[in-house]
Amino acid sequence: MSSQGSADKGEKRETKSKPTNTFFVFLQEYRQQLKDAGFTGIPSPKICQLAGQRWRKMSNDQKLPYKIWARRNREQLREGKMRKEIQKLNLENRIKKVRPNFIN
């Protein structure tokens, strides 16, 4: 039995991409650093807690590379969405040109 909101097996649900915020960029890197240092098996909530503590202690200058990365990610997603909209409009215009005048 499936709930109304869930997709059936075999169906792919379309998800909207959202830009990664600054802290999550830092969190991804922090997780990788822990893994590279051999700290495995740490529960995810504990990693998030430790990362949050470190993030709050960081200066704005230390956070700057993460802010830049997040901004670029946001801009790339925005550009990708704009490209898709332009492609969609171009396709619609091509379809209109192919249709006979009596089918409007």
The pLDDT value given to residue 32: 92
pLDDT tens per residue across span 31-72:
999 999 998 889 999 999 999 999 999 999 999 999 998 888
Q: How far apart are CA 65 and CA 71, in angstroms?
A: 10
Tell me if the pTM is above 0.85. no
Q: How far apart are CA 35 and CA 57, in angstroms?
A: 22
